[in-house]
Amino acid sequence: MDVNLALSPQAIAVARLDSKPKVLARMAQLLSEAYGLDESEVLEGLEAREALGSTGFGRGVAIPHCRSKGVRRPSLAVLRLDPPIDFAALDAQQVALVCALVSPENAGATHLHALAAISRLTRDEAMVQMLADAPDAEAIYALLTNQFLRDAA
Interval 114-138: pLDDT, tens: 999 999 989 999 999 999 999 999 9
Whether 65 is catalytic: yes
Interval 14-70: pLDDT, tens: 999 999 999 999 999 999 999 999 999 999 999 999 999 999 988 999 999 999 999
Three-state DSSP class for residue 135: coil
3-state secondary structure 38-99: CHHHHHHHHHHHHHHCCCEEECCEECCEEEECCCCCCEEEEEEEEEEECCCCCCCCCEEEEE
Residue ranges of domains in the chain, CATH in brackets:
6-152 (3.40.930.10)
For residues 89-107, average pLDDT? 94
Burial class (CB within 10 angstroms; exposed 0-12, middle 13-18, buried 19+) of 111: buried
Predicted model pTM: 0.93
Residue 4: per-residue pLDDT: 81
CA quadruple 71, 75, 79, 84: dihedral sign: positive
Q: Which of 20, 65, 67, 111 is catalytic?
A: 65
Evaluate whether 147 touches 121 at the Cβ level (below 8 Å). Answer: yes
